[in-house]
């Protein structure tokens, strides 16, 4: 068993773009094993925070610290699913195979792993089809299968169902739950309250680049402390 | 008017008669162009992708140079290659001047900057779209080069065709380094230039029509291939 890279410590994270501060001194500790939801209206800085944590963006100030302080090892234990997944112009199976190859899985060992990953996503029948001709829902499931195949300790998801209809959303949420049950820590963003209800164990509520609340989902939905979170829960338009 | 009419008549009989000299000239034209473009693609595509993805000192200069070299005057390229390959030049010992190999080298100098510059732009645009996903999967920019080249294959094929068009119709450089030697280095374009200056317009026109037809056929074929690939791969 490899040493855990969690908890993840976000320490005074700031992010500036074009002279404007978009994330303000965000400090939080994210424990392992949970499903954490970054919640907030559009433009709250959820996606930016996720990208900073995953290392796709460098913070303007502050730091992202993984347990063990080994940046390379930490990178290899993470995966991310984007709102609009990029599928390579090759077959469904080859997309998963590519991800495994990048993580150094030997070619011979990949075949069964690819088949297993596709079976878990219900995509076994379309393994040989070009990935780009799949429906949006199937593509997102393939993105999840691709991320799951590398067995990440932490899976980041950025609004994974924002473009999907209810049926496809259901399928994606089921997969997220399954990946969590298989042992991965889930850190995802959503602006969808219902989804936060269904999947959230811990809630980080963001508003205009500030972390307003961090608490268990139960406590949060029972009654958040900040006026912004209360307004958001009450269904008021917040921006 | 009658000149023109005679020319067309002679051109058609030439095309449908397919004499041995003509076949030889067409064959050499195709061989030199395909070799030159293939060599250029082998150099230009990875080079363009590398310039698009990697950050190194002097990168800006390379980008400007590639874009500027897209419009290199063929006669100047021919002259430079001539000087390098001539007996007194640095590569004179190889004895390549006035051979088809020299013509391929000249074509390569002309086409490589075109392919590299267009590839750089195509791959840079694609990297915009793919960057986060590929980095998240664990790809370094260097590792992303082959991935992006494969994913941009349909667009890159069009780019290679542009290079092919320029190489196939090029006369200045291959004339200088090849010398237009009958049964040696005579290709369609140099033959047309020669026959025109000799006043044998029917022959020149016939050759010109064949050149056009071949160009159309190759482009049409490549277009259909690309279209098929696009429909299959989505």
Beta carbon pairs, A and B, within 8 Å: 48
Neighbours of A67 (CB within 10 A): 14
Residue of B nearest to A146 (CA): B137
Instruction: Tell me which chain A residues have a C-beta less than 8 angstroms from the C-beta of B137.
Output: 79, 98-99, 102, 146
Structure tokens at B57: 């000192």
Q: Distance between CA B89 and CA A76 in Å, rounded?
A: 54
pLDDT at B121 over 80: yes
Q: Do A51 and B153 touch (CB under 8 A)?
A: no
Looking at residue A219, its pLDDT comes to 94
Average pLDDT of every residue of chain B = 90
Counted residue by residue, chain A has a size of 239
Spatial neighbors of B141 by CB under 8 A, at least 6 apart, are: B53, B54, B55
| Residue in A121, A96, A128, A89 with CA at minimum distance from that of residue A111 | A96
Of A56, A79, A89, which has the smallest distance from its Cβ to B151's Cβ? A89
| Residue in B1, B5, B21 with CA at minimum distance from that of residue B210 | B21
Tokens 């940046």, residue?
A71
Q: Do B137 and A90 touch (CB under 8 A)?
A: no
Instruction: Tell me which chain B residues have a C-beta less than 8 angstroms from the C-beta of A76.
Output: 138
CA angle A219, A186, A202 (to 5 degrees): 10
Is pLDDT larger for residue B19 or for residue B26? B26
Q: Does A75 touch chain B (CB under 8 A)?
A: yes
Alpha helices in A66-210 (DSSP H): 71-76, 92-102, 107-120, 136-149, 166-181, 193-199
Q: What is the mean pLDDT of residues A36-59?
A: 95
Structure tokens at B94: 């190889």
Residue of A nearest to B229 (CA): A89
A window 84-103, beta carbon within 8 A of B: 85-86, 88-90, 98-99, 102-103
Looking at residue B202, its pLDDT comes to 80
Instruction: Tell me which chain B residues have a C-beta less than 8 angstroms from the C-beta of A155.
Output: none
Instruction: Tell me which chain B residues have a C-beta less than 8 angstroms from the C-beta of A86.
Output: 129-130, 132-134
Q: Distance between CA A55 and CA A58 in Å, rounded?
A: 6
Dump the DSSP string for chain B. -HHHHHHHHHHHHHHHH--HHHHHHHHHHHHHHHHHHHHHHHHHHHHHHHHHH---TTHHHHHHHHHHHTT--HHHHHHHHHHHHSTTSTTGGG--TTSHHHHHHHHHHHHHHHHHHHHHHHHHHHHHHHHHHHHHHT--HHHHHHHHHHHTHHHHHHHHHHHHHHHHT--HHHHHHH---TTTT--HHHHHHHHHHHT-HHHHHHHHHHHHHHHHHHHHHHHHHHHHHHHHH-
- B202 near B14, Cβ under 8 Å? yes
Q: What is the mean pLDDT of residues B198-210?
A: 85
Instruction: Tell me which chain A residues have a C-beta less than 8 angstroms from the C-beta of B151.
Output: 88-90
Phi and psi of B138, rounded to 5°?
110, 15
pLDDT at A57 over 90: yes
Express each pLDDT in A72-93 by its tens digit: 889 999 999 999 999 999 999 9
Looking at residue A72, its pLDDT comes to 84
Express each pLDDT in A131-141 by its tens digit: 999 999 999 99
Is pLDDT larger for residue B43 or for residue B199? B43
Q: Give the distance from residue A88's alpha carbon to the nearest chain B alpha carbon, in angstroms.
A: 7
Per-residue pLDDT band at B113 (split at 50, 70, 90): very high
Looking at residue B158, its pLDDT comes to 86
Q: Do B139 and A82 touch (CB under 8 A)?
A: no
Three-class secondary structure of residue A1 per DSSP:
coil
Q: What is the mean pLDDT of residues B140-154?
A: 95
Looking at residue A239, its pLDDT comes to 60
Q: What percent of chain B has pLDDT over 90?
A: 68
Per-residue pLDDT band at A237 (split at 50, 70, 90): confident
Looking at residue B71, its pLDDT comes to 87
- Tell me A186's DSSP state: E
Q: What is the mean pLDDT of residues A106-112?
A: 94
pLDDT at B2 over 70: no
Q: Do A89 and B133 touch (CB under 8 A)?
A: no
Q: How far apart are the first and last CA of chain A?
A: 44
Per-residue pLDDT band at B200 (split at 50, 70, 90): confident
Q: Distance between CA B103 and CA B38 in Å, rounded?
A: 14
Express each pLDDT in B72-103 by its tens digit: 999 999 999 999 999 999 999 999 999 999 99
Per-residue pLDDT band at B231 (split at 50, 70, 90): confident
Looking at residue B1, its pLDDT comes to 52
Looking at residue B100, its pLDDT comes to 96
How many helices and strands, by DSSP H and E, does chain A display?
9, 9
Q: Do A132 and B233 touch (CB under 8 A)?
A: yes
- A194 near A164, Cβ under 8 Å? no
pLDDT at B232 over 70: no
Q: Give the distance from residue A52's alpha carbon to the nearest chain B alpha carbon, in angstroms.
A: 12
Per-residue pLDDT band at B9 (split at 50, 70, 90): confident
Express each pLDDT in A158-217 by its tens digit: 999 998 999 999 999 999 999 999 999 999 999 899 999 999 999 999 999 999 999 999
């Amino acid at each position: 068993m490899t040493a855990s890279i969690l908890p993840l410590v976000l320490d005074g994270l700031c992010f500036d773009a074009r002279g404007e501060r978009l994330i303000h001194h965000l400090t939080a500790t994210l424990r392992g094993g949970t499903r954490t939801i970054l919640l907030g209206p559009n433009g709250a800085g959820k996606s930016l925070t996720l990208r900073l944590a995953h290392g796709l963006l460098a913070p303007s100030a502050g730091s992202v610290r993984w347990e063990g302080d080994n940046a390379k090892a930490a990178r290899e234990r993470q995966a991310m699913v984007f709102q609009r997944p990029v599928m390579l112009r090759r077959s469904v199976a080859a997309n998963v195979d590519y991800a495994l190859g990048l993580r150094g899985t030997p070619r011979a060992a990949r075949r069964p792993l690819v088949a297993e990953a596709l079976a878990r996503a219900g995509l076994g029948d379309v393994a040989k089809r070009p990935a780009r001709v799949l429906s949006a829902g199937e593509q997102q499931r393939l993105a999840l299968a691709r991320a799951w195949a590398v067995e990440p300790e932490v899976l980041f998801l950025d609004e994974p169902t924002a473009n999907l209809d209810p049926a496809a959303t259901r399928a994606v949420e089921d997969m997220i739950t399954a990946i969590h049950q298989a042992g991965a820590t889930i850190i995802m963003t959503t602006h969808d309250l219902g989804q936060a209800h269904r999947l959230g164990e811990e809630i980080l509520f963001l508003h205009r680049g500030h972390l307003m609340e961090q608490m268990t989902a139960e406590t949060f939905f029972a009654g958040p402390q900040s006026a912004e979170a209360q307004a958001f829960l009450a269904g008021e338009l917040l921006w | 008017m009658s000149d023109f009419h005679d020319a067309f008549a002679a051109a058609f009989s030439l095309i449908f008669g397919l004499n041995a000299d003509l076949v030889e000239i067409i064959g050499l034209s195709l061989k030199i162009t395909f070799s030159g473009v293939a060599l250029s693609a082998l150099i230009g595509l990875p080079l363009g992708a590398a310039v698009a993805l990697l950050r190194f000192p002097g990168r800006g200069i390379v980008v400007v140079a590639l874009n500027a070299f897209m419009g290199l005057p063929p006669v100047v390229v021919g002259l430079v290659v001539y000087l390098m390959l001539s007996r007194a030049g640095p590569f004179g010992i190889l004895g390549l001047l006035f051979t088809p190999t020299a013509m391929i080298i000249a074509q390569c100098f002309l086409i490589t900057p075109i392919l590299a510059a267009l590839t750089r732009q195509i791959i840079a645009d694609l990297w915009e779209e793919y960057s986060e996903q590929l980095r998240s999967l664990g790809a370094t920019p260097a590792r992303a080069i082959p991935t992006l080249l494969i994913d941009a294959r349909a667009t890159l094929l069009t780019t290679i065709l542009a290079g092919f068009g320029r190489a196939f119709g090029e006369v200045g450089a291959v004339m200088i380094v090849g010398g237009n030697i009958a049964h040696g280095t005579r290709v369609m374009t140099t033959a047309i230039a020669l026959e025109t200056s000799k006043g044998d317009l029917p022959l020149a026109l016939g050759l010109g029509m064949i050149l056009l037809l071949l160009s159309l056929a190759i482009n049409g074929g490549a277009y259909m291939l690309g279209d098929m690939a696009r429909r299959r791969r989505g």
